[in-house]
Structure 1
Amino acid sequence: MQNYVIRNIQVVNEGRISVNDVLIKHGRIEKIAGDISTDLLTTEINGEGKYLFPGVIDDQVHFREPGLTHKATIYTEAKAAVAGGVTSFMEMPNTIPNALTIELLEDKYRIASQTSLANYSFFMGTSNDNAAEVLKVNELKKDICGVKIFMGASTGNMLVDNYLTLDKVFRESEVLIATHCEDEKIIKANYQRLKNEKGELSPADHPLVRNEEGCFESSLVAIQFAKKYNSRLHILHISTEKELQLFTNLIPLKDKRITAEACVHHLTFSSDDYEQLGYKIKCNPAIKAPHNREAIWKALLDDRIDVIATDHAPHLLNEKEPPYEHAHAGLPLVQHPLQLMLHHHKQGRISLEKIAEKMSHAVADCFDIAERGYIREGYFADLAIVDMNQQMTISKENILYKCGWSPLEGMKLPGTITHTFVNGHLVYGQNGFDESNMGQRLKFNR
C-alpha cells in the first residue's frame, strides 16, 4: 500500500486548527507533527493553504440497492460520496426487498464489499411483525450500525404502528434505534382536509400535509419509549422548531441516551424555495417554514442537535413530477454535504471546527464507531483535503449520481475537495478515482 505525507496543511480537528504534516502509513494515520521525515517511497502532497478534514461520516443515506437500481446503486452513490469527502455511510433498509432479516441485511454488506469505494454499514429494518428478527442484531452489535424504525410511512412503506412491536424493540434492543418520526394519522387527516379544500395539491402544500404537529407527536412517542426503557434512541432529520424542546445540551454527547440529527437540506432550504424548486425538494419530513430552519441552526450550534447528515434519497427526475401523489419524496445530496456546510461557513453560520465536529467526530461518538471520525495517530486515514480558494458550480456535467440531477444545480459552492483518502487509500484526487480498493465494513465499540 502506498504511503503519503501531507505537508503544511491546516488540520481541522477536535475544536482547533493547526498547521502540521500528516503521515499516512499502512492505511492509518502514523504521525501528526511539524516537518516529518520520510523515505523516498512516501508520496508527498503539498497541503499549503489547504485544510484537512476528517472524512465525513453520513449516518443516513438511501443507495437504493437492491431493487431500485434504476435510481442508484451502492457503487454509483458511494463514488459520488467520496468525491465530496464522505468516507463512510450508513444506509437505510427501505430497499426491495426491505432489509427485514439478517440474511437480507448481509446481502447488502456483500454488495458493498465488492462495489463501495467508501466504508459502509447498513441498518436493520423493522416491520410490525419482525421484532424477533430485529433483536438478533443484539448478537451483531459490533458489526451493525443500528435498527431503523419508520414511525411514519415514507418511501418503501415500512410503517411500524403496532405499539406492541415498538414496546418490544425499545425494551430489548441493545443497539442504537434510529427513527423516522411522523404521525401517520395526522398526515392522513391533513392530506384529506387539503384535498377536500383544494382538489389538487402543490409542492407548497407538502409541509401542510406533513406538518410540525405530526413530527412532534411522533418524536414524543419515540422519546417516551426510550425513557421508559433507557433505550439508545437517535431521531433522524429534525425538521421543526417544536421538536427541539425534546432534546438537551445539558449533558455531554457521550452520556446522552437520546440524540438528534439535522440534515443539510433542512439547514439550507425553507418553504420559500418550493416556488422555484417545486417537487425537487419534496422530502419526508417536509422542508418547512423559515422559522424552523433558524431554530434547527440554533439547536445545532448549541448541541441540542448532535450530528449533520444528508438523507441522500435519489429519484429520477420524471419520478419527481406532479401530481402531488406521484411526486416521490427525497433528494440526492451525498456528493456535496461538506461543500454545502462550507458555504454556510462562508456566510458566517458555522465554524470549520464545528463542521468537523458535527459531520465526523460526533457521528463517530454517537454510534461508537471504532477508530474513525477523528484525525488521530493510530486511526484509519479517512481524510478529505479542501481547497477553500477554489469554488465549484454544481451542474449536470459534474454530478455523479446515477439519477443525474441535484437540487443544488446552479449554486456556487466554496471549498473544492481535492483529495479523499479512505483507509489510507487515495480513492479520489487530481487524477480522478482509483477504484483498486474498496471501503471496509464499519466496526462499533459496543
Structure 2
Amino acid sequence: MNTYLIKNATIINEGKQFVSDVYIKNQRIEKIGTSLNIPGVKEINAEGKYLFPGFIDDQVHFREPGLTHKAEIYTEAKAAVAGGITSFMEMPNTVPNTLTQELLADKYAIAAQRSLANYSFFMGASNDNLEEVLKTDVKNVCGIKVFMGSSTGNMLVDNEKTLEGIFKNAPTLVATHCEDEATIQKNLQIFKEKYGENLTPEMHPLIRSEEACYISSSFAVDLAKKHGTRLHILHISTGKETFLFQNDIPLKDKKITAEACIHHLWFSDEDYKTKGNFIKWNPAVKTASDRDQLLKAVLDNHIDVIATDHAPHTLEEKLQTYAKAPSGGPLVQHAFNALFELYHQGKISLEKIAEKTAHNLAICFQIKDRGFIREGYFADLVLVDLNSAYEVNKSNILSKCGWSPFEGQTFHSQITHTFVSGHLAYENGTFNENKLGERLSFER
C-alpha cells in the first residue's frame, strides 16, 4: 500500500492551527506528531503550506447517466479532486431519474469504476415512489433527495400527501430543494405579460423570488418538526431563510440543518449584468444583502455546511436566451479557492472553512471515519499554498463543459496535493489514477 509522510504542515483541524507531521499508511492516518522519521516512505515537504481535511461536497450533479454531453462522473470527480474535494454526494436528477433501488445501484457501479474521489448518491423521491424510497440502505446511502421546487429534470414533488409520507416515514436524512412552484409560476406569468419573450437574467431572482424560497423552506421546516424528520435544506439563498434555523444547540443534536453554496456566498444580483446566464442557478443568486447575511449565518452557525451545487451545462446551452438557458454551473474545481479568497479578504477564518466543508459534513451525515484529521481516520487530506496566485481561464478548467463562472478571476491560493483515502490522487497539476475513490459509509 502507498505510504507517505507529510512533513511540517500547518494543520487546520477542529478549531486549531498547529505545525506537525502526518504519516499515512494503508489508506489511513497512522500517526500525527512532530519530528516523525519513517524509513522507506515518500516524504512531502509541506513547510509553509496548510493541511486541511478534504472538502466533502454534499451537493453535486455529475450528469451520469443520461446527460453525459454535459459532464461525467469521471471528468467531474477529477475536477473535484483538483479542487480539494475528496468526497462527493451526487443528486438523482440524472436520466433516468434515480427513483428505484436498481437505478441507484447502477450509479454506484459507475462510480466504482470511474471516480477518483470518494462518493455517495442520493436516492430520489417523486410523487409516487415512496415504497422504493423506504428500501434505502441508510448505512450505505447518504440520504433521500426531495425537489420541493422544479429544477433540471422532472422530479418536482408537489403532492402534499406524498410529502407527508416521505417526512413521516423516511429512514434517514431528507435533503430538500426548497422553492414554491406556485409562486414561481405566478411571478413568471407577470413578467411574461410585461416583457413577452424579452426576459433577461436580471429578472431571475425576481421570478424565483425570496418569497418563493421562504414559503417552501418554512413549509419543509414545519413538516420536519411535525414528524421529527432529519431534514437538511440545501442551497439557502436568502437572508430571511437563515432565521428558520437554530444556532444555540450542538450540531450533533440538530434535527434540522442547512447548507449555503459557494455561488450564493460570492455573487450577487449586480453580477447578472456581466455574467448573465453563467450565474443562473436555482435558487437564484440574490442581493448583496442576502449574500452578506448568508455569510453571517455561516459564521454564527445558523447555516451548518458549505457546498457547491456543481451543475454543469454546455457552453452552447448557457449561451441561449434567458428563458431557454438551463440553470446551474460548474464549481467543484474552484470552490475551495473562492473560500480561501474570502479568507484573504478577512471574511472567514481557515478554521471555519475546515469546519463548514469537512467536519460538519461528517457530523450532519454521520459519515464513518472521515471529515477530520485524526489518527485512525481515512487520509482524505488537502495541502494548500495560500500564497500562490493563478487566473482561471479556459486552458486550466477541468470540468467537461469547459467553462467556469470564475473565468478571469485571479485566486491567490492553490491546492498542491490531494489525498483520497490515503492515495495521492493529485500533485501539482498531475493526477494519479492508479487507485480510485471509495464508497462512503455512514454510522446510523
Normalised TM-score (structure 2): 0.99
Greater shift, 96-105 or 386-395, is seen at 386-395
Correspondence for 2:390: 392
Correspondence for 2:330: 332
**Inter-partner Cα distance in structure 1 for 2:162 and 2:223:** 11
1:397-412 to structure 2, matched below 5 A, reads 397-412=395-410
Correspondence for 2:27: 27
Deviation at 1:324, TM superposition (A): 2.1
Deviation at 1:430, TM superposition (A): 2.9
**Inter-partner Cα distance in structure 2 for 1:431 and 1:366:** 32
2:162 to 147, 162, 165: 165
Correspondence for 2:73: 74
Correspondence for 1:88: 87
Size of the aligned set, in residue pairs, is 443
**Inter-partner Cα distance in structure 1 for 2:363 and 2:429:** 33
How big is each residue's C-alpha offset from its partner over 1:250-277, in whole Å with a ceiling of 9 and x where there is no partner?
Answer: 1010000000000000000000000000
Equivalent residue letter for 1:406: S
Correspondence for 2:103: 104
Deviation at 1:18, TM superposition (A): 0.3
**Inter-partner Cα distance in structure 1 for 2:412 and 2:173:** 34
**Inter-partner Cα distance in structure 2 for 1:429 and 1:445:** 31
Correspondence for 2:132: 133
Equivalent residue letter for 1:94: N
Equivalent residue letter for 1:354: K
Distance of aligned partners of 1:411 and 1:431 in 2 relative to their CA distance in 1, 3 Å threshold: closer
How big is each residue's C-alpha offset from its partner over 1:180-203, in whole Å with a ceiling of 9 and x where there is no partner?
Answer: 000000000000001101111100
Correspondence for 2:5: 5
Correspondence for 1:216: 214
Deviation at 1:322, TM superposition (A): 3.4
Correspondence for 1:124: 123
How big is each residue's C-alpha offset from its partner over 1:379-408, in whole Å with a ceiling of 9 and x where there is no partner?
Answer: 000000001121121010000000000000
Deviation at 1:377, TM superposition (A): 0.2
Correspondence for 1:310: 308
How big is each residue's C-alpha offset from its partner over 1:127-173, in whole Å with a ceiling of 9 and x where there is no partner?
Answer: 10001111111xx1000000000000100121000111111110011
1:371-386 to structure 2, matched below 5 A, reads 371-386=369-384
Correspondence for 1:44: 43
Correspondence for 2:181: 184
**Inter-partner Cα distance in structure 2 for 1:122 and 1:417:** 26
Contact preservation (8 Å) 2:214, 2:241: yes
How big is each residue's C-alpha offset from its partner over 1:79-112, in whole Å with a ceiling of 9 and x where there is no partner?
Answer: 0000111000000000000000000001000000
Q: Which runs of 5+ in 1 are unaligned?
A: none
Correspondence for 1:226: 224
Equivalent residue letter for 2:440: L
Equivalent residue letter for 2:333: Q
How big is each residue's C-alpha offset from its partner over 1:284-334, in whole Å with a ceiling of 9 and x where there is no partner?
Answer: 000011110011011000000000000000000110123222111001000
- Is 1:286 equivalent to 2:284 in the alignment? yes
Matched-pair identity in %: 61
User: Match of 1:98, SS?
Assistant: coil
Correspondence for 2:440: 442
- Displacement over 4 Å in runs of 4+: none
Equivalent residue letter for 1:81: A
Deviation at 1:431, TM superposition (A): 6.3
**Inter-partner Cα distance in structure 1 for 2:353 and 2:386:** 14
Distance of aligned partners of 1:431 and 1:337 in 2 relative to their CA distance in 1, 3 Å threshold: closer
**Inter-partner Cα distance in structure 2 for 1:64 and 1:432:** 24
**Inter-partner Cα distance in structure 2 for 1:350 and 1:124:** 33
1:241-256 to structure 2, matched below 5 A, reads 241-256=239-254
1:300 to 298, 301, 304: 298
- Is 1:61 equivalent to 2:60 in the alignment? yes
Contact preservation (8 Å) 2:82, 2:429: no
**Inter-partner Cα distance in structure 2 for 1:296 and 1:147:** 25
User: Match of 2:64, SS?
Assistant: coil
Contact preservation (8 Å) 2:184, 2:209: yes
Correspondence for 1:357: 355
**Inter-partner Cα distance in structure 1 for 2:412 and 2:8:** 21
Contact preservation (8 Å) 2:268, 2:291: yes
Equivalent residue letter for 1:177: V
- What CA RMSD, in Å, does the superposition of the two structures yield over aligned residues? 0.7
**Inter-partner Cα distance in structure 2 for 1:25 and 1:428:** 17
Equivalent residue letter for 1:188: Q
1:230-241 to structure 2, matched below 5 A, reads 230-241=228-239
**Inter-partner Cα distance in structure 2 for 1:431 and 1:61:** 22
Equivalent residue letter for 1:145: C
Correspondence for 1:343: 341
How big is each residue's C-alpha offset from its partner over 1:33-61, in whole Å with a ceiling of 9 and x where there is no partner?
Answer: 1001211x211000100000000000000
**Inter-partner Cα distance in structure 1 for 2:358 and 2:262:** 14
**Inter-partner Cα distance in structure 1 for 2:50 and 2:140:** 32
User: Match of 2:107, SS?
Assistant: helix
Equivalent residue letter for 2:358: S
